[in-house]
Structure 1
Amino acid sequence: MRIARIDVDGATRLGIVDADRVQPLAAGVELVDLLTADPGQRREIVGRSGDGPPLALSDVRLRASIEPTTLRDFLTFEEHLEGSLAILGATEPHPVWYEVPVFLFGNSNAVVGPGDPVAVPPGCELLDFELELAVVIGEGGRDLTPEQAGEHIAGYTLLNDWSARDLMAPVIPFGMGPMKGKDFAHSLGPWIVTADELEPHRRDGRLALELHVELNGVPLPAGGDNSVNMVWSFEEMIAFASRGTDLRPGDVLASGTCGGGCLLEYWARLDTDRVPPLRPGDVVTLVAEGIGSLSNTVVAGVDPVPLPRARTGQRRRERSWTPPAGRP
C-alpha cells in the first residue's frame, strides 16, 4: 500500500495511491491510524474510509509523506563516508563508526514535500542534495532487539537531506554537529510504501532497492547505489535508536546518503568548477526502486542577518565541592 498526504479542498487528507490514481480517505482518518495497524487492519480501515471517486495523481498536490515526530539521520553507506573523508583530507573513519550506527537529529520543523521549493539558506554558496532512504516507525517501542525491530516498521519513504556544505565546514570541528548547515530543509516523499509491499525486494535479510539522483532531468554520471549496501540494517538502526528511549509512531530514521547520492563525493575527486554547487532553478529528483521519485526546485534565499561577535571576558566564579550527604 502507498499512503500519501494530499491537498483536498484546501485541507490535507490521506490518500491511497494506485498507479496514476489516488483514492482520498475520509477527513477523520489519521496517518497514525494506518501506521500502527497491521496489513489486514490497514486494508479494513482503507476499505471503509474511501471518500469520493479516485483522482488523477497528476491533478493532486502531494504534501510531505509524513511530518515526523522525530527525525534521526544515520550514516550507513561506506562509499559516501569515503567521499566525505576525502574532502576533509582524512583517510580512515573514526573507530566508533564500526561499533554503533551513528546518527544526528534533523529539524522536523523544516520538512518540505514533493514539488515544494527549497530556498538557498542564508550565506550558503555550496548547496548540496543528499539521497537517502528512510523508515517510518509504526508501533512504538523501547530497548528493542534487531529481531523485534522489524515488527515496528510501518513503511519506507525518500529523504533529501539538503546540505549547506560551506556552513557546515567551519562548525563541525567544534563537535556539536553541522548546525545551520543541516537546519533548513528536509524533503520527504512522495508517499509511504508499507513494509509488506517491499518484502519482495529483500536480499540477504536486507532491503535491496536501486537508488539514483537526477539533476535537471539527467542522472548523475557515476550511477547510483543499492540499499543492500548499508553497513547497518534498518532493524539494527532501530534497535540502537530505541536504547533507553521510546520510539513512537511517526518517528523517521534515515539511512544517510547512499554512494553517489550527493555532489560532495564528486567535489572530493574533482572540484566545484567542474561540478558546480546547486543554484536557483536547479531541479533535484531522487529515485528509488519500489517507491518512486521525489523532486524539488532550488530557489533563491535571503541574505543572513548579521550578528556581533561573542561577548567575552565575563566574571568567573570560584569552584569548590562538598560531597552531598550519603555520597563518598
Structure 2
Amino acid sequence: MKWVTYDAGAGPRAGVLDGEHVRGLPPAVTVLSLLESGGLTEAGESARREPAEVRPISEVRLLAPVPRPPSVRDGLCFLDHLRGCRRAMGTPGELPAVWSQAPAFYFASPAAIVGPYDDVAISPGSTAFDLELELGAVVGWPGRDLHPDRAESHIVGYTLYNDWSARDLQQLDMAQGIGMGKSKDGAITLGPALVTVDELEPYRRDGRLDLELSADVNGTEIARGTLDRMDWTFGELLAYLSRGTELRPGDVIGSGTVPGGCLLEHVDTPDLLDYARWLKPGDVVSLHASGIGSTEQTVRAASPPIPLRARAGEPASTA
C-alpha cells in the first residue's frame, strides 16, 4: 500500500493512494496511530473497501506521510558520498578506519519535517544551502538490540528523504565537534508516500532493494544511483541504532546520501563559499525513486538571523 497524510481543507488525515485518488480514513486516524496500534494493514484494507471519503489527488495537499515521527535519525551508509565530499573539500585519500567499524548517524529534528511539495526556506544566515538525496525507512514494529540479519523486518515501508543542509553552518557545527546543529534542522522532506515493503518486493535483487534514486535542480539531473550500493545495509543500521535502546513505530531512519546526490560533492573551488551552484530562491529541487514517486519543492529566501549578544571584546554574533 501507499500511505499518505493529506489535507483537503479540513485538517490532516490518513489515506491510501489508489491511482489518481486518495481513499481516506476518519479524521481522528493518523498513520502514526495506526503504526503504534499495529493496525496499518487492516486499516488500509478498510479504506479500500469502505473509505470515509474519496478525493482526487489533484484536489488535496500531500503532507509528509508521518508528519511528526517519534524520532528521526539520519545515517551515512553510502561511503562513496563521504569520499566525494572529502574530495570536494580537498581531503581525498583513504577513509579513516572508524567509518568501517560502525554506521555513522545523527539525531535530526522531527519538527523540521515538511511535505513533498512544500516550499523550503534557506536556513537563516546560510549562503551555501544544499539538498541531499536519500531514502527513509519507517519503523513499523518496536525492537531493541536487533540482530543485523533480522532488523530489516522491523521496517514497515520506505519514503523519499531530502536532508536539506546549510553547508556553511555545517562548518561551524563540525568545528564545535558535538554533532550536527543549525546546519541540519531547517527542513527534512518526507514523501510523497510511505510505501509498504510488500509493494517494493519486485525491486528486490539478491536480498537487497534495488531502487533507483535520482535528484535534479531546475530540471537538470545532478545524481542517479541505486539503493543496493549501500555500504551499510538498513538491517545493519537498524541493528546498530537499537543497541541498548528501543526503536519505536513511526521512527524514521535516513539512508544517508546517494553518491553525487548533493551539491557539496560537485564543488569545484577551494573556497566553499565561492561555489556558484548553491541553492538560491526560486530553484526547484526534485527527488525521484522507483516504486515510491517524486517530490518537487521550490527554494525560498531565508529569514534574517537575529544576532546573539556580544561578548566582551568581541562583535555580536550573526550565527
Residue 72 of structure 2 is aligned to residue 71 of structure 1: yes
Q: What corresponds to 1:120 in structure 2?
A: 122
Partner amino acid for 2:248? Answer: R
1:230/1:268 CA distance change after superposition, 3 Å: farther
Amino acid at match of 1:72: R
For 1:86-141, what per-residue CA distance to the aligned partner results, in whole angstroms no more than 9, with x for missing partners? 13322232321101111011111111112211111111111100010010001111
- The CA distance in 1 between the partners of 2:139 and 2:11, in whole Å, is 24
Alignment-derived partner of residue 316 in structure 2: none
2:225 corresponds to? 225
Whether 1:60 and 2:46 are equivalent positions in the alignment is no
User: 1:131 touches 1:258 (CA, 8 Å); kept in 2?
Assistant: yes
- Report the equivalent of 1:137: 139
1:294 maps to 295
Q: For residues 56 and 310 of structure 1, do their structure 2 counterparts lie closer, same or farther at Cα, with a shift above 3 Å needed?
A: same
Q: 1:187 to 1:40 in 2, by over 3 A?
A: closer
Which residue does the alignment assign to 1:283?
A: 284
1:46 deviates by 3.1
Checking the alignment, whether the CA contact within 8 Å between 2:15 and 2:47 is kept in structure 1 is no
TM-score by length of 1: 0.88
Query: For 1:166-203, what per-residue CA distance to the aligned partner results, in whole angstroms no more than 9, with x for missing partners?
Result: 11113303311231111211111111000111111112
Task: Indicate the SS of the match to 2:232.
Answer: coil
In the alignment, the residues of structure 2 paired with residue 283 and residue 185 of structure 1 have an alpha-carbon distance, to the nearest angstrom, of 15
Alignment of 1:195-234 (within 5 A): 195-220=197-222, 223-234=223-234
- Any unmatched runs of 5+ in structure 2? 314-319
| Residues 32 and 69 in structure 2, CA contact (< 8 A), matched pair in contact too | no
- TM-score, scaled to structure 2: 0.90
Specify the alignment match of 2:24 in structure 1: 24
Alignment check: 8 A CA contact 1:83 1:268 kept: no
Write the distance in 1 (CA, Å) between the matches of 2:3 and 2:217.
26
Counterpart CA distance in 1 for 2:176 and 2:233 is 30
CA distance 1:24–1:42, shift in 2 (3 Å): closer
Contact 1:266-1:275 within 8 A present in 2 as well: no
Instruction: Confirm or deny: 8 A CA contact 1:263 1:275 kept in the other structure.
Output: no
Seen in structure 2, the aligned counterparts of structure 1 residues 14 and 43 have a Cα distance that, compared at 3 Å, is closer
Root mean square deviation, CA, Å = 2.1
CA distance in 2: counterparts of 1:228 and 1:120, whole angstroms = 31
* Shift in CA distance, 9/302, structure 1 to aligned 2, threshold 3 Å: closer
Which of residues 89, 107, 110 in structure 2 aligns to 1:108? 110
- Whole-angstrom CA distance in 2 between matches of 1:160 and 1:233: 19
- Structure 1 127/69 Cα, relative in aligned 2: closer, same or farther at 3 Å? same
Percent identity reads 45
Q: How many correspondences in the alignment?
A: 309
Contact 1:6/1:13, CA 8 A, preserved across alignment: yes
Of 180, 183, 206, which aligns to 1:181?
183
Q: Is the 8 A contact 2:113 2:189 kept in 1?
A: yes
Structure 2 equivalent of residue 15 of structure 1? 15
Q: Which secondary structure state, in structure 2, belongs to the residue aligned with residue 35 of structure 1?
A: helix
The residue number in structure 1 matching 2:172 is 170
Q: Distance in 1 between matches of 2:8 and 2:44?
A: 22
User: Does 200-209 or 188-197 show the bigger shift?
Assistant: 200-209
Counterpart of 2:196 in structure 1 is 194
Could you tell me whether the CA contact under 8 Å between 1:189 and 1:294 is conserved in 2? yes
Corresponding residue number in structure 2 for 1:323: none
Amino acid at match of 1:297: T
**Structure 1 residue 243 and structure 2 residue 243: aligned?**
yes
Contact 1:84–1:268 (8 Å) recurs in 2: no
Change in Cα spacing, 1:138 to 1:310, as seen in structure 2 (3 Å) is farther
